[in-house]
Amino acid sequence: MGWHYRKSIKIGPFRLNLSRHGVGHSFGNRRFHVTSTPDGRRHVTVRLPGGFHLSKTVGKSHRRYYHY
């Protein structure tokens, strides 16, 4: 059985995300949001009216797999 940890600290439009894999951060509002993960990937999301959203991953194209 694996263990999980996640804590998020919000400071205005900036959010610091703590997990067992490291520290990530995100910035944005309801319409536009940029997230950086601990392994270096960045996700850019734009939400459009009517429930549509566009999302793009920028940065490292491979994922790290953790085996504990």
| Domains of the chain by residue range | 6-31+38-58
**Can you read off the two tokens belonging to residue 38?**
């601990």
Contact present, 35 and 24 (Cβ < 8 Å): yes
pLDDT of residue 9: 93
User: Which pLDDT score, from 0 to 100, does residue 30 have?
Assistant: 84
Nearest to 21 by CA among 35, 6, 43: 6
pTM of the model: 0.65
Span 4-30, average pLDDT: 90
